[in-house]
Amino acid sequence: MPAVDLESLPSGPLSMAGLLALEPAELRRLLKGGLRRGLSTDDLQALLEQDWQGGLEAPPVQALLAALQQRGWFRCDGDRWKTHLG
């Protein structure tokens, strides 16, 4: 699983420039996947298994999703996971 320092993620709204500056690349790919129509839960599961070596139920993935949701960057809207720029 790629290392993401959740404490070092900026707070506040996410801009496109901010998204492009995030590391690691897997985090950028996750957030880019949520743009426009968003990701279905199945698509999100596949992306997490491919890039993060864990599914939605893996504790590190749960911590990452919670941190992104807390910042308002990535959350589930209905049956789609979407990235919110603001």
Global confidence as pTM: 0.90
pLDDT of residue 66: 95
pLDDT above 90: residue 2: no
Single-letter amino acid code for the residue at 75: R
For residue range 33-74, list pLDDT tens digits in order. Answer: 999 999 999 999 999 999 988 889 999 999 999 999 999 999
The rounded distance, in Å, linking the Cα atoms of 18 and 44 is 21
What is the rounded distance in angstroms from the CA atom of residue 20 to the CA atom of residue 46?
Answer: 22
CA neighbor of 31 nearest in space, from 61, 68, 76, 1: 68
